[in-house]
Structure 1
Amino acid sequence: MHACGRAKSSSILSRRGRISRPQVSRLERPGTTRKRAVPYPRIIFASVQSRYDFPCLAFPRPRPQRLPDGPLLIASASPCPERGATRTKTVSPSGDGLFRHSAGVCKMTTKKVLIVHEQIGFVADRLPATFDVLKAWEPLTPAERDSVTAMVVSGDIQLQNTYLSEFPNVGLIACLTSGYDGVDVSFAADRGIKVTRAVEVNHEDVADHAMGLLIAWTRGLVTGDKLVHSGKWNGAAKVVTRSLSELSVEIVGMGAIGKAVARRCLSFGVPVLWWGPREKDGLPFRRVPDLETLAHENNVLIVASSADRSNRHMISGKVLDALGPDGLLVNVARGSLVDESALIERLRSGKLAGATLDVFEQEPTDPARWRDVPNVILTPHSAGATRAVLPKLVKQLISNLEAYFGGRDLLTPIAA
């Protein structure tokens, strides 16, 4: 075996149970400090990933067997980053974990991750075994709260600052979603907590959904479906709908989603204008100076902007009035961006032609709120949730967690 314990052979034990290359790591019996080689012909190693992180060493954790009257022996064939270290980990019967180096003893630490929102509880089963996962909807002891160093949240659900304060050692809030309006980034930054989110993972699917809502409302697909199912279609009168050629689209927010929506609009021959708080170079679309002008010049307003506390209700009653009685609102961004009460009032009064919404101010939204509202199509915040996207969201989430625990630059940090 090399000085750092690197194996010269991939075989640890022969099938007969006799020790072959490399020699088994040294074992320390309880109550002694002397190391001696102990042949253990019946031990069998099954490589599994560890739920523990050793700051001085990272290696796959084999599944150990208990010695008849002593501690556990764990051996690994992975490289050791500390030169001259003896790669042996022993766990005494009391459960205390020590990693024996020639230079000293390193205590075992864990990557404690808390899944905050039960809506994304499926993430717990998809995280690597190197993370010790806790769930906020299950009872937590004070010691467990103190041990949490990273949180996983759904960025569109409120993370209360008072709740965050109950976890004194959290250093990272990782949003599974691209939106992060549920997290007070400034509050987190003041406490030295970093925040990450998903970037350019589900924008194409959200854009597809936006176009689906636009086409469904413009061509009366939902109304036509109900007409056929109800038996009220008798052929006496032809159902006439709008044409996409009558539309001009304004997009609020020209990020990844906005650009993807714009490309799709152009493929349908629909002209595009946009507005955002900042100019962007290289866009082939004209930027309008303010939201009211944008709404006045077009008859479809698609909201694709990110949301934070500064732009709450930016789609106000005045903007909806500028959109007018022939206008359609499409929101696939965040419900907080739209003054929902003003929207409902204008739909009921006929001051706005229609609305198609995938997001709401409160989610799940109260169905009674929309029961008598005409000319709306509602979907349950599903625009970005596809079978193709979920693995990508989890993969990017894991990359941020591993970067944080590994002391590397985060993949998709949010600036405070």
Structure 2
Amino acid sequence: MSRPHILAVAKLVPLLLDQLHTAYVVHDRVHEASPEEFAKVASNIRAIVGGGESKVTRALMNQLLALELISIMGVGYAGVDVAAAVERDVPVTHTPGVLNDEVADLAIGLMLSIARRIPQADQYVRAGRWGKEGAMPLTRKVSGARLGIVGLGRIGQAIAKRAEAFGMSIAYTARSAKPDLTHTYYPTATALAEQVDFLIVITPGGAETRHLINAEVLAALGSKGYLINVARGSVVDEAALVEALKDGVIAGAALDVFEKEPHPSEALWTMDNVVLTPHIASATWQTRQAMADLAAGNLHAHFAGEKLLSPVPECN
């Protein structure tokens, strides 16, 4: 049998791309590189493969008359027009679950890093300032502090579990309260921010949560509060955050995601009360391999006529 044709709509990691080349005819971003070539192969393409930030629009789907599946390597899929896919009876899959631990680990690591100024302390030693200027200023204790989590899904609950080991009290906000959990629920991010020392954001991206963390929420968090974002850059109003950091409205922020990646606001680069990482929450060999395997597994299951491994909720 001939190998199915698939369209890669993002630069895929070798861990996934190598698997795809063994089983499929892969057209790597041909729709962007060569419209003429894309027009020649579009009628043969039966699946789309992309990453968490990939754009899969109705217009693109309309050009793929044989489209049967959209497989996303990532938890988020806000760039996919799921409604258009559902209309076409084209299921969308993603890779939840396999990266819960890594994202939760980084969230805790970022919280510790900004509270204890670990990256700044590293630079303090490297610059020779310890010997010249003496000890660094005192920092903020994490154990026993109050943690607020914006979004208490699988990853949020993994963060909460880790925070419990630090003796932290835990509260959260989400679309609705979770009766099976004992953590305190607040109906809004503002109400939550008023009650915590650290606010970790791990809610899905998309239009519904765009700028959920705004100037009002940051003011509620207060001058002794810290913001940690491991969700999506769109969830935080970055301009409002920059002003809050400049003016001392909040004590600091640790960010793994940004509104315009890979170009965070330059104002953040030189701030001493900020820790920045380049969207690395799931970036370990083990987790990326698991994500690649699941994304490929969804493709294999579909073309084998088997049940999909991890369809998005809208396609269950």
TM-score, with length taken from structure 2: 0.91
**Counterpart residue number, 1:279:** 177
**Helix, strand or coil: the match of 1:244?**
coil
Q: CA RMSD in A?
A: 2.0
- Which of 24, 27, 41 aligns to 1:144? It is 41
**Counterpart residue number, 1:162:** 59
Runs of 4+ in 1 over 4 A off after TM superposition: none
- Which of 247, 258, 269 aligns to 1:349? It is 247
Residue 361 to residue 121, structure 1, CA distance change in 2 (3 Å): farther
**Counterpart residue number, 1:131:** 24
- Which of 346, 370, 378 aligns to 2:268? It is 370
Q: Note the C-alpha offset of 1:236.
A: 3.8
The within-5 A match list for 1:265-414 is: 265-366=163-264, 368-414=266-312
TM-score, with length taken from structure 1: 0.70
Which one-letter code corresponds to 2:89 in the other structure?
G
**Counterpart residue number, 2:125:** 228
Preserved CA contact (<8 Å) 1:328 1:352: yes
**Counterpart residue number, 1:113:** 6
Percent of matched pairs sharing the same residue: 34
- Which of 85, 97, 100 aligns to 1:203? It is 100
Preserved CA contact (<8 Å) 2:144 2:169: no
Higher helix share: 2
Q: Note the C-alpha offset of 1:308.
A: 2.4
Residue 369 to residue 404, structure 1, CA distance change in 2 (3 Å): farther
C-alpha distance in 2, partners of 1:311/1:191? 27
Q: Which has the larger radius of gyration?
A: 1
Q: Note the C-alpha offset of 1:253.
A: 1.1
C-alpha distance in 2, partners of 1:126/1:226? 41
Query: Unaligned regions of 5+ residues in structure 2, if any?
Result: none
Which one-letter code corresponds to 1:149 in the other structure?
R
**Helix, strand or coil: the match of 2:86?**
helix
**Counterpart residue number, 1:181:** 78
Which one-letter code corresponds to 2:82 in the other structure?
V
Q: Note the C-alpha offset of 1:318.
A: 1.0
Query: Unaligned regions of 5+ residues in structure 1, if any?
Result: 1-51, 53-108
**Helix, strand or coil: the match of 2:194?**
helix
C-alpha distance in 2, partners of 1:158/1:373? 32
**Helix, strand or coil: the match of 2:217?**
helix
Which one-letter code corresponds to 1:135 in the other structure?
D
Residue 162 to residue 386, structure 1, CA distance change in 2 (3 Å): same
Deviations along 1:127-183, one digit per CA (max 9) or x if unpaired, are 262322221155434231111110111122333443333322222111101111221
Preserved CA contact (<8 Å) 2:210 2:234: yes
Residue 123 to residue 146, structure 1, CA distance change in 2 (3 Å): same
The within-5 A match list for 1:234-273 is: 234=132, 236-237=134-135, 239-245=137-143, 247-273=145-171
Q: Note the C-alpha offset of 1:242.
A: 1.2
Q: How many pairs align?
A: 309
**Helix, strand or coil: the match of 1:240?**
coil
Residue 265 to residue 367, structure 1, CA distance change in 2 (3 Å): same
